[in-house]
């Protein structure tokens, strides 16, 4: 299989990923005034599904050209290395998140905070709790998506091995695994508390593979899914119905079906079929609506694109600051103005981090090339063609 590496970074993907990162940050501070405006309130999915699809596209761009060119061991080891990076980031994120709640509990004397976001099992049984943290089988709230990414990247060499024989076998195996997962309820178990992972990698892999499929097609200069007028209108109609379904709270109104609940209930851990169709419809409508061509005209230095370019550190810091936001919401109960200031501060810090990392990357290239290092120009970059 011949796969061309992308000639230049596709900033459209970074822009959409940046939007998703800010949306995730807002949603991770429940009860704030902006939470009701994110797209999770107008359909069956939230930014997590979109983020996983984009991660699949990015994985195709980053690893598959080398793999398809015959450097299979190198590409596989790089994927495993990235999984190791995400594992370390996950553990550091959990420690920082617990630390935020612990500091607040000590400073404000609110010991009940240590019972929030699934921290309690660690306090009640720390020995088994640390085993759970080390094995990723105990995941505190809002810190549970990176373990799923670790598993997906560890499985990426197998995905690429299938993909070199054609994308159809890869999609087929992925769909079969998704279906069997729905039927038999396969999911990694939690420990020490009972239960299962919130982001079940056996189900979410279908979204990742879908993104990988799209990424490979894009590298071949092909449309991921060809345009059909009928399919586009059907997808748009589904999005409208899904928005009404969610806004009018029609959950539980569907008649019983001879299928496991996981298939048709709004199950996020298992990516129920309604959620799967929703993210597929959303990608299809946006992909064939001209919006991506409009986004392509944005400057690569606009804040959302820069944030998307540094997704992992921005996501990591956003997760930690969201814990600060949760503590502030519980301890101070800020009003509308306070909530807006909190969200603006967090978003501003995320953008500042992204611009700082962008400047460091450019500075490093300049140093290697022996050129003078330009100072970062945050104001000019932040206002460029948003």
pLDDT score at 94: 97
Q: What pLDDT does residue 261 have?
A: 77
Residue spans per domain, the chain: 11-298+318-340
Unique residue bearing structure tokens 């495993």: 80
Q: What is the pLDDT of residues 171-196, one digit of tens each?
A: 999 999 999 999 999 999 999 999 99
Provide the greatest CA pair distance for the chain: 68
Query: Tokens 């995400």 belong to which residue?
Result: 86
Q: What is the mean pLDDT of the chain?
A: 92
**Distance of alpha carbon 65 from its chain centroid, rounded?**
23
Mean per-residue pLDDT for 133-137? Answer: 96
CB 201 within 8 A of CB 151: yes
Q: Residue 178 has which token pair? A: 């998704």
Distance CA 155, CA 136 (A): 16
Tell me how far apart the alpha carbons of residues 53 and 212 are, in angstroms, rounded to a whole number.
Answer: 8
0.75 exceeded by the pTM? Answer: yes
Cβ within 8 Å of residue 165, ≥6 positions away: 1
**What is the reported pLDDT for 4?**
67
**Angle formed by the axes of helices 47-68 and 72-108, nearest 10°:** 150
- Token pair of 103 as six digits: 């500091």
Q: Contact, 275 vs 204, CB < 8 A?
A: no
Token pair 């596989």 is found at: 76
Q: Of 135, 56, 145, give the one whose Cα is nearest residue 93.
A: 145
What is the pLDDT, as a whole number, of residue 324?
98
Six token digits for residue 9: 């970074």
In tens, the pLDDT along 212-262 reads: 999 999 999 999 999 999 999 999 999 999 999 999 999 888 787 777 777
Beta bridge partners of 196: 189
Token pair recorded at residue 174: 């992925």
User: What's the CA gap between 211 and 59, in Å, rounded?
Assistant: 9
| Average pLDDT of the residues in 57-62 | 96
**In sequence order, which ranges of 28-71 are alpha helices (DSSP H)?**
47-68
Name the CA radius of gyration of the chain, rounded.
21
Residue 45: the pLDDT is 95
């Amino acid at each position: 299989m011949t796969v061309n590496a992308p000639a230049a970074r596709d900033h459209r993907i970074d822009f959409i990923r940046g939007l998703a990162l800010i949306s995730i940050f807002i949603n991770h501070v429940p009860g704030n005034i902006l939470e009701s405006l994110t797209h999770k309130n107008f359909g069956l999915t939230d930014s997590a599904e979109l983020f996983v699809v984009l991660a699949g596209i990015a994985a195709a761009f980053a690893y598959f050209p080398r793999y398809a060119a015959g450097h299979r061991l190198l590409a596989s080891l790089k994927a495993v290395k990235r999984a190791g990076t995400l594992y370390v980031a996950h553990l550091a994120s959990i420690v920082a998140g617990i630390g935020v709640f612990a500091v607040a509990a000590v400073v404000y004397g609110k010991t009940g905070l240590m019972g929030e976001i699934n921290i309690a099992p660690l306090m009640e049984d720390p020995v088994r709790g640390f085993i759970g943290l080390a094995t990723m089988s105990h995941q505190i709230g809002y810190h549970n998506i990176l373990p799923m990414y670790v598993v997906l990247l560890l499985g990426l060499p197998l995905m690429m091995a299938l993909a070199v024989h054609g994308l159809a076998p890869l999609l087929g195996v992925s769909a079969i695994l998704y279906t069997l997962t729905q039927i038999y309820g396969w999911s990694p178990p939690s420990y020490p508390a009972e239960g299962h992972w919130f982001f079940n990698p056996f189900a979410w892999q279908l979204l990742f593979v879908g993104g990988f499929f799209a990424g490979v097609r894009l590298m071949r200069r092909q449309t991921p899914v060809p345009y059909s007028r009928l399919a586009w209108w059907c997808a748009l109609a589904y999005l409208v119905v899904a928005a009404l379904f969610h806004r009018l709270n029609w959950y539980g109104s569907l008649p019983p079906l001879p299928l496991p609940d996981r298939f048709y209930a709004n199950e996020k851990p298992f990516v129920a079929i309604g959620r799967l169709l929703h993210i597929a419809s959303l990608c299809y409508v946006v992909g064939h609506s001209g919006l991506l061509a409009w986004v392509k005209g944005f400057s690569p230095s606009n804040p959302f694109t820069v944030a998307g370019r540094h997704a992992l550190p921005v996501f990591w810091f956003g997760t930690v600051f969201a814990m600060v936001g949760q503590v502030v919401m519980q301890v101070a109960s800020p009003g509308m103005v306070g909530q807006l200031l909190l969200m603006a501060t967090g978003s501003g810090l995320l953008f500042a981090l992204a611009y700082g990392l962008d400047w460091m990357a450019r500075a490093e290239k300049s140093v290697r090339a022996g050129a003078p290092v330009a100072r970062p120009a945050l104001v000019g970059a932040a206002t460029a063609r948003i």
